[in-house]
Chains A and B, each alone.
Chain A
Amino acid sequence: MTITSEDPCRYVTFKLKDELLGIPVEQVQEVLPSRAITPIPLATEEISGFLNLRGQIVTSIDLRRRLNLEPRTPGTKSINIIIKDEEDLISLVVDEVGDVLDLVPSELTSPPATLDAVWREYCRGVFQLERGLLVILDAEKVLDIHVGA
């Protein structure tokens, strides 16, 4: 996908703490309300566990932990954004899901230099919306979690 196209792209937006983030809609398979997660002992802490999506196993990534945000207080609601990446189904656990926005990729600007280093690494760019910044995540990098044996 080339970002320079003038055709609008659709982005699924979601909230993490107070931040507004988004990923291209074509990467998202579906959005699920929170459900029971089976933790994986010994896995890195970003991996919150497995969930059952109609008989398929989905690995769930706690996006707050992945992006160095303070952990969600237990009991607060969360939403799963299901992504299909190659053979794996992966869920990004976020606080809440917002609108799907049509935006022109050429308006995507590089992230401000002041952005947290971790964020900058996972960020593909920033849209300057009227109500604030929308950080577009690079799903590939977000999913590239190093798991040592």
Chain B
Amino acid sequence: MDELLKEFLVESNENLSQLDQEIVELEANPEDTEILKSIFRTIHTVKGSCGFLGLSRMEKVAHHAEDALGKMRDGVLAVIPETIDPVLKAIDIIQEILQVIEETQVEPDGDDSEIIEDLKRVLAGDFTVSESSPEASEPSPESAPQAPETPNQEAEQAPQPQAESPAEPVQEPEAPPPAPAPPEPQNATPPAPKAQSPAPAKKAQGASQPSVASKSIRVDISILDRLMNRVGELVLTRNQLSQLAQSDENSPYKLAILELNRVTTELQEAVMQTRMREIGNAWKRIPRILRDLCSSSGKQIDLEMIGADTELDRQVLDAIEDPLLHMVRNSADHGVEAPDIRKAAGKPEKGKITLNARHEGGFIVIEITDDGAGIDVFRVRQKAINQGLLDPSDVGVLSEEHILNFIFEPGFSTAQQVTSVSGRGVGMDVVKTRIQSIGGTVSLSTKMGQGTTVHIKIPLTLAIISALIVSSGHHSFAIPQVGVVELVRVSDENRHLIETVNGARAMRLRDKLLSLVRLSDVLGLDRPSDEVRNDEYVIIIQVEKREFGLIVDAVHDTEEIVVKPLGRYASNLNVYAGTTILGDGRVILILDTTGLANKSEILNLSEGKVNEAATKVEHTDIQLDRESVNLLLFHSNEGTRHALPLSLVSRLEEFDSKDIEQSAGRYLIQYRGHLMPLIPADSCYQVGSVDPQPVIVFSDADRVLGLAVHQISDIVQDRIEIEMKANLPGILGTAVIDGLATDVLDLHHFLRQTQQDWFATTQMKTKKHLDLLVVDDSDFFRNLLGPIIVGGGHKVVFAKDGQEALQILESNGNAFDAVLSDLDMPKLNGFELVKHIRQREDYSELPVIALTGHTSDASREKALESGFNNFITKIDKDAVLDAICELGNMSS
């Protein structure tokens, strides 16, 4: 493109975008000649350049607009909507033409006679000023409070329009009332305190603008990008040098590297600074848009912009500008009501939209608040149901917030009337996609009759992000910290947290059932076979308010990484967000968590509902009424299908049938340290008839129970409506689930069976329930012993080591009947502990039992000599219970 033309386009676009805002301001402050002059200058420049470049069509339009503006400037023409509208329209046309020129480099043909006629009519003077009033330079004080955009103006009554200005009086009562001009820098009045002033962007412009402009230069963005890249390289080189210097204490370069370090950091910050722009830049078009919208709809809306000077990265700014405009339009169009409706509702006729931007951590939070009618959650729900996005049966399960989220679904609009502005159902989904694409989130909150707030949270910069470095097999990846909720380490001790349901992995974390996906599976990576089970990590990631777990082999650390592009060959794989270079020079890929979730289909809607439902059910125990729940389907023998609410199930296991033991007509299996009774789900079912034997594990308080079933078939979501009561023990009744008749199991029947067992065995052994202090430094053994002891009907308090045990005894020495203590512990071991106890007067007689892993006679001898009353192996459940029982008999 011709350099000259290019320059003209850049300059004109910049000037015109500023014009939009200035003209709206001018309407509010018609006597502000500074603004008028500035507008006139801009149009004049455009006109001049057009003539020079031979853009005749544009020149003509600009010429007539300039004429009108000139008359306004000279005070011959009033600044009122009737005169300003044609000027605005002319500017629109100029912008349209500019856009075409930018694309095609040729001025498009077109007929502008209409707008030129309009401008001529204005010039001809329906609106010329008749009574040029002498008190024009006085702002009318009573109109000031209503002026938009100057919320703190009460304090600013003092500022006067410049004395020499031949400002216009205003005769149109319908026109927006004039407000005093913003305080000029040269004015004697103290400037408005910036900190608390939600200063509209206009203050940065206006009269002081030329001086600002002369202090800045225009730099091509690509130069800044290149600079940023080079600084990134410099940082890496600096890091390498620092590492070298650190390895050698006496390096002669040490000081120089230190200096390099400092300068590089400052340089990096400065370059980052050049990329930052005020968010006000993205708000520039908003006043104009609202103005147009108000004049076409008859609404009255005040706009307040808070934190316009909040800075963010240019790239982020570009990405959010359109979504922001769209949401403001939405707020104005279906948020704020028409004046008569507002009046009837007891609200001020003039609505208000507030834009508020602020820093919060490494993020920018932008809120768009209107004081309008609010969103009718019920209607959203209806619409979601009508559009098939929501299953009516789920309604009770979903939170209001979740329902509001449907607004972001493609094709969703609750506006009853489609206007030219919004309500066409395009937009909110695009808004969301755009914001997500830069790592941001968007959500809504609303109150019927009081208004709606849209919350947007976006990262400050896309250039440098905080990321978690993980690895899977030999591959390392960066995961943006934004979506990471927590990390769970999976070792042999807690591997049971991961369960497999019909081939899909899931994890029960507190009250949630999370879907899991292995990173190596999604990306098709080679990894060591499952035989070698090392520790793994589950990274809980949030995507669109839903969480899933990503399994990786290792988690390294969190680093600030410089995001670099993917290049053409990797960008459409949809699982990567970019690349980065680590301190050691390695290139690694940045994962796109949303893409990963989509690719593994882990977050499709039904799955999301499953999670929600599971969570809900967990809190409210079993619900056998209307609400649909997650149901585990299984066959207790070849034929009958059974169902159970999934929320009751702790784990699903499979056991080799040779491991199943039989004792006194009952089936038992060693499970996680103690014996678990296995009960057939159907009395006809032969435990161990399939190998491996599928078992549904329940844990109720401290008891566990395994239900042996023929086959675990599926998990479905459905309601349980018992159609037929059953006479069979263990069956609540028959329901139609997933289209088939299914027996719903009465779990309490089975739990009762084992409960009686428990009491039978313990009652036999002990007459008294004891209070025990168990001292062991291993989580595992404390967890193992707890259920055994509590199951025996005793109460237990745990201590992690001898020292803690002594502290507990110190404050509560007489509360315990006995101490069971490990021998080998940090801080204060078992031998020392028993010595301390024996030296005490108040509880020197307290029975202390040694718990140990080894049972050699020598150690036994030693333990008894040191003052222990007994010596038992802690993995032997019966020995533990026997020893406690003996104590009980002794003390009674």
Residues 14-69 of A at the B interface (beta carbon under 8 Å) = 36, 38-44, 47, 49-52, 54-57, 59
Known A42-B524, A57-B567; contact A52-B586, beta-carbon cutoff 8 A? yes
- B587 lies within 8 A of chain A by Cβ: yes
What residues of chain B lie closer than 8 Å to A57, measured between beta carbons?
Answer: 564-565, 567, 579, 581, 587
Q: For the complex formed, measure the closest distance between the CB of B236 and the CB atoms of chain A, giving whole angstroms.
A: 6
Q: For the complex formed, measure the closest distance between the CB of B107 and the CB atoms of chain A, giving whole angstroms.
A: 29
Query: Are A149 and B579 closer than 8 Å at their CB atoms?
Result: no
Known A36-B586, A57-B579, A88-B568; contact A43-B573, beta-carbon cutoff 8 A? yes
Alpha-carbon separation in the docked complex, A38 to B589 (Å): 8
Q: Mark B226-237, 1 if CB is under 8 A from A, else 0.
A: 000110110011
Known A54-B233, A55-B229; contact A38-B587, beta-carbon cutoff 8 A? yes
Q: For the complex formed, measure the closest distance between the CB of B440 and the CB atoms of chain A, giving whole angstroms.
A: 23
Query: Are B585 and A52 closer than 8 Å at their CB atoms?
Result: yes
Query: Are A59 and B229 closer than 8 Å at their CB atoms?
Result: no
- A118 lies within 8 A of chain B by Cβ: no
- B487 lies within 8 A of chain A by Cβ: no
A40, A54, A89, A145, most chain B CB atoms within 10 A: A40
Query: Are B570 and A52 closer than 8 Å at their CB atoms?
Result: no
Alpha-carbon separation in the docked complex, A49 to B230 (Å): 22
Query: Are A149 and B570 closer than 8 Å at their CB atoms?
Result: no
What residues of chain A lie closer than 8 Å to B236, measured between beta carbons?
Answer: 55
Alpha-carbon separation in the docked complex, A117 to B474 (Å): 37
- A1 lies within 8 A of chain B by Cβ: no
Query: Are A59 and B475 closer than 8 Å at their CB atoms?
Result: no
Alpha-carbon separation in the docked complex, A43 to B567 (Å): 12
Query: Are A52 and B581 closer than 8 Å at their CB atoms?
Result: yes
Q: For the complex formed, measure the closest distance between the CB of A35 and the CB atoms of chain B, giving whole angstroms.
A: 9
What residues of chain B lie closer than 8 Å to A39, measured between beta carbons?
Answer: 475
Alpha-carbon separation in the docked complex, A9 to B525 (Å): 45
Residue of A with least CB distance to B477 = A41
- A115 lies within 8 A of chain B by Cβ: no
- A147 lies within 8 A of chain B by Cβ: yes
Residues 98-149 of A at the B interface (beta carbon under 8 Å) = 145, 147-149
Q: Mark A60-86, 1 if CB is under 8 A from B, else 0.
A: 000000000000000000000000000
Q: For the complex formed, measure the closest distance between the CB of A85 and the CB atoms of chain B, giving whole angstroms.
A: 9
What residues of chain A lie closer than 8 Å to B229, measured between beta carbons?
Answer: 55-56
Interface footprint category on A? 20 to 34
Query: Are B569 and A149 closer than 8 Å at their CB atoms?
Result: no
Alpha-carbon separation in the docked complex, A56 to B232 (Å): 9
What residues of chain A lie closer than 8 Å to B631, measured between beta carbons?
Answer: none
- B211 lies within 8 A of chain A by Cβ: no
Q: For the complex formed, measure the closest distance between the CB of A82 and the CB atoms of chain B, giving whole angstroms.
A: 13
What residues of chain B lie closer than 8 Å to A36, measured between beta carbons?
Answer: 585-587
Query: Are B567 and A52 closer than 8 Å at their CB atoms?
Result: no
Q: For the complex formed, measure the closest distance between the CB of B584 and the CB atoms of chain A, giving whole angstroms.
A: 10
Residues 202-261 of B at the A interface (beta carbon under 8 Å) = 229-230, 232-233, 236-237
What residues of chain A lie closer than 8 Å to B569, measured between beta carbons?
Answer: 40, 43-44, 47, 59, 145, 147
Interface footprint category on B? 20 to 34
Alpha-carbon separation in the docked complex, A40 to B518 (Å): 17
Q: Mark B555-597, 1 if CB is under 8 A from A, else 0.
A: 0000000001101111011111001010001111100000000
Query: Are A147 and B573 closer than 8 Å at their CB atoms?
Result: yes
Query: Are B585 and A43 closer than 8 Å at their CB atoms?
Result: no
What residues of chain B lie closer than 8 Å to A56, measured between beta carbons?
Answer: 229, 233, 564
Query: Are B573 and A59 closer than 8 Å at their CB atoms?
Result: no
Q: For the complex formed, measure the closest distance between the CB of A134 and the CB atoms of chain B, giving whole angstroms.
A: 28
- B175 lies within 8 A of chain A by Cβ: no
Picked from B523, B564, B572, the residue with its CB within 8 Å of the CB of A147 is B572
Query: Are B475 and A41 closer than 8 Å at their CB atoms?
Result: yes
Query: Are A149 and B233 closer than 8 Å at their CB atoms?
Result: no
Alpha-carbon separation in the docked complex, A19 to B586 (Å): 32
Query: Are A51 and B575 closer than 8 Å at their CB atoms?
Result: no
Query: Are A38 and B588 closer than 8 Å at their CB atoms?
Result: yes
Alpha-carbon separation in the docked complex, A89 to B579 (Å): 14
What residues of chain B lie closer than 8 Å to A42, measured between beta carbons?
Answer: 523-524, 573, 575
What residues of chain B lie closer than 8 Å to A44, measured between beta carbons?
Answer: 569
What residues of chain A lie closer than 8 Å to B523, measured between beta carbons?
Answer: 41-42
Residue of A with least CB distance to B576 = A40
Query: Are A52 and B475 closer than 8 Å at their CB atoms?
Result: no
B523, B586, B587, most chain A CB atoms within 10 A: B587
What residues of chain B lie closer than 8 Å to A54, measured between beta carbons?
Answer: 233
Residues 699-747 of B at the A interface (beta carbon under 8 Å) = none
What residues of chain B lie closer than 8 Å to A38, measured between beta carbons?
Answer: 475, 586-589
Known A55-B229, A57-B564; contact A43-B570, beta-carbon cutoff 8 A? yes
Alpha-carbon separation in the docked complex, A56 to B579 (Å): 10
Alpha-carbon separation in the docked complex, A51 to B588 (Å): 9
Q: For the complex formed, measure the closest distance between the CB of A65 and the CB atoms of chain B, giving whole angstroms.
A: 13
Query: Are B572 and A55 closer than 8 Å at their CB atoms?
Result: no
Alpha-carbon separation in the docked complex, A29 to B570 (Å): 22
Q: For the complex formed, measure the closest distance between the CB of A104 and the CB atoms of chain B, giving whole angstroms.
A: 34
Alpha-carbon separation in the docked complex, A62 to B574 (Å): 22
Query: Are A59 and B570 closer than 8 Å at their CB atoms?
Result: yes
Q: For the complex formed, measure the closest distance between the CB of A79 and the CB atoms of chain B, giving whole angstroms.
A: 19
What residues of chain B lie closer than 8 Å to A148, measured between beta carbons?
Answer: 572
Q: Mark B626-664, 1 if CB is under 8 A from A, else 0.
A: 000000000000000000000000000000000000000
Q: For the complex formed, measure the closest distance between the CB of B589 and the CB atoms of chain A, giving whole angstroms.
A: 7
Query: Are A40 and B573 closer than 8 Å at their CB atoms?
Result: yes
B572, B573, B575, most chain A CB atoms within 10 A: B573
Q: For the complex formed, measure the closest distance between the CB of A58 and the CB atoms of chain B, giving whole angstroms.
A: 8
Alpha-carbon separation in the docked complex, A59 to B569 (Å): 8
Q: For the complex formed, measure the closest distance between the CB of A55 and the CB atoms of chain B, giving whole angstroms.
A: 3
What residues of chain A lie closer than 8 Å to B232, measured between beta carbons?
Answer: 55
What residues of chain B lie closer than 8 Å to A88, measured between beta carbons?
Answer: 567-568
Please provide the 6 A-B residue pairs with the shortest distance between their CB atoms, ordered closest to farther.
A55-B233, A41-B523, A50-B587, A59-B567, A38-B587, A149-B572
Between-chain CB contacts (< 8 Å), 16 pairs: A38-B475, A38-B589, A41-B524, A43-B573, A47-B570, A50-B567, A52-B585, A52-B586, A55-B232, A55-B237, A57-B565, A57-B581, A88-B567, A89-B567, A147-B568, A147-B570
- Please give 9 more A-B residue pairs, beta carbons under 8 A apart, in addition to A40-B573, A57-B587: A38-B589, A40-B589, A43-B569, A47-B570, A50-B587, A54-B233, A55-B232, A147-B572, A148-B572
